[in-house]
Amino acid sequence: MKKHPVYFLITMFITTSFLGCASFSKKAFEAEFQNLEKENISKLEGSYALNPIMKYKDKVPEEVKSNETLPDSLVTNNAYQFMVTPNYSYKKNLYRRSENHNRSINLKFQTANLLSVKVYEDNTVIKDTILSGKYKKGMFYLDNKYSKSSGIPYLLGGVNNNKRRIGLTKNGNLLVNEAHSDNGAFLFLFWAGTDYNLTYEYQKK
């Protein structure tokens, strides 16, 4: 029996929907990763440095040096921005890297699904945000996802999406893992886009 073209289109849409989604991966930081149980997810609570100390993107972890060549005004990887801002193009430099030595980020659960995120400068709160999320696979998955379609996705257009989750290293440092995907297609034929899994590690204070 000959299948109707509609069935073909539906099948292709379902299949390609998965291709256009950002997906998390622990491969880059699995050697350092501490798998948290739902009952002890509160171990994420505490204060951490605002600037990262390690970057995990490829197989070899990379130390983040304070004197890296990127201009100080363009650095957008502090823990608060990386967790709170859902889309890279919206990230703005809130705090210069060189000025963050006396700043820290504090995490505390208000409920099992609500996380208080505060930035302190000395003993003064300068940023105060509540993020929702849920426990999954040893980490806390944040709900502040970003997804935007342009044109007609998978036919003539693209999909840009982004999401984050947080966890701990074996020595108690904070991990913020971001998955990003930006792909386009014409009649289900995909062209190269931007896909990455990027993770930063922040020192426990």
Q: Could you state, in chain order, the average pLDDT of each consecutive group of 10 residues for the chain (205 residues)?
A: 46 43 86 96 96 88 74 69 72 63 93 96 93 97 78 59 94 94 54 75 96
For residue 122, give the 3-state DSSP assignment: coil
- Which residues have CB under 8 Å from 55's CB, separation 6+? 61, 62, 63, 64, 77, 198, 199, 200, 201
Q: What is the pLDDT of residue 8?
A: 40
Q: What is the pLDDT of residue 124?
A: 93
Q: What is the pLDDT of residue 157?
A: 55
Q: Is 138 left (phi over 0), alpha (psi -120 to 50) or beta?
A: left
- Residue 173 has a CB neighbour count (10 Å cut-off) of 20
pTM over 0.85? The answer is no
139 to 104, 135, 164, 190: CA distances (angstroms): 21, 6, 10, 31
Q: Is the dihedral of CA 36, 41, 45, 51 positive or negative?
A: positive
Q: Using alpha carbons, select from 191, 178, 138, 134 the residue that is nearest to residue 28.
A: 178
Cα distance between residue 165 and residue 24, in whole Å? 9
Q: What is the pLDDT of residue 114?
A: 98
Q: What is the pLDDT of residue 181?
A: 76
